[in-house]
Structure 1
Amino acid sequence: MCGRYATTRSEADLGLLFDAVTVAEELAPSWNVAPTDPVPVVRMSRRHDARVVDTARWGLIPPWADDPRAGARMINARAETVATSPAFAPSFQRRRCLVPADGWFEWVRDGRKRQAFYMTPADSSVLAFAGIWTMWREQTLTCSVLTTAALGGLAAVHDRMPLILPRERWPEWLAGGGDAPGLLRPMSPAELAAIEVRPVRPDVGNVRNNGPHLLTAPEPEIEAEATLF
């Protein structure tokens, strides 16, 4: 977790939702975001002295990395170690961001078949994943999503989930510094109860597939009727 998610709101809408200035390049909505894709993030900007909606490559590339492909292995940062990891700790202290999402995907294996599930707010509100960012070679903004142990019924789908921040925690997260345990505390039971888990079509397993149809329920399997002779 988290290896696929959906983010479909426009940069203008995100600017309003997060009270931020939009500096991001225009991105098409995506119902199947995959590692290394460009994604919207919300971060603090010294230049604008405000929050900005920016564009980052999903998969943090440490400043010392020689190859950008290293980012494909660093799409997630574990909340348990982000404050001490050499690759993630500097960004956790000084370069935190929010990663807007509509929901995220996980898979559960049932015998030889894998069923995809989509986790999303029941009221269709925006999710803010806790994220960190860095600039690779002064030209490529990259980010990672923090994950934590899955809570409640979500643990039946996967043992990890994104660290999701409610609106009242956004200022503290974006400010930098602060107390790690407090910053990394999990969502409350009430916030967790607002997350809906629904089975969706298997098409989402292919990164080339995209569109709102990926969020629809899978077609029921039709058992062949026995023919009597």
Structure 2
Amino acid sequence: MLQDERLEAIVQYLNEHERIDIETICKINNVSKDTARRDLINLEEMRKIIRIRGGAKKALLSNEVHNYGERMNMASEAKGKIGKFAASLINNGDHLILDASTTVQFSAKYLTSQKNTVVTNSINIASVLSQREDIKVNLLGGTLSTRHQAIYGSRAIRDIQDYKVNKCIIGTCGISAEGLSTSIEEEGLLVHEMIKRSDQVIVIADSTKFNKTFFQKVCDLNSVDIVITDKEVPKNMQEILNKHVVEVIVVPSHE
């Protein structure tokens, strides 16, 4: 078994069990105790685990921060499939909120419904939809973040409070028992308000986002109606989503 496969196996186990000991690592990966310890050191350096006496526990706080270009290239095939499916859920004439997620940009690209009104804080999504004469785009005011190609700030939050829409399509950095979360404080505050303004909340997220918690909480899971992803959801998260009556739709990235 390759090292990447061993590390992934450990992380998957921790997603289900919270803690793991050296003996269990040796058993599931068929390795020596020395190799198991080295693998834990690597995972700790990656900030995915916290080493404890005799093993490790899952690191609950994630610290990954990427700019828009980096995020656009991550899991792009999966994002395309997820975004396209989300776009298929939109009806003619729907009023929408689309956040500045890279996955949501794919939804804008594949939108086939007509006569929609879209509210967004994403300058890229506004640019994509500007090619459609039958779609009205309302771009929120505020402060432009060039790193994230999005508009944030108190003005954007005030603006979004003036709207009420049929559907809100948002991405997320993390989905966990704590709810949705993000590494960008301004984004979390704005998306929280977006969710409050929508009759239906659709979260689109590739499989890497599950069992991750970031600095800024966005909302509890009971605020979410649908989650669209590319792989089967981890068992623990499926149980939590079921408890909150969240519909999960899996759209495989490979057919």
Larger radius of gyration, structure 1 or 2? 2
Give the alignment's TM-score, normalised by structure 1: 0.27
- Greater relative CO (CA pairs within 8 A, separation 6+): 1
* More helix by percentage: 2
* More strand by percentage: 1
Give the alignment's TM-score, normalised by structure 2: 0.25
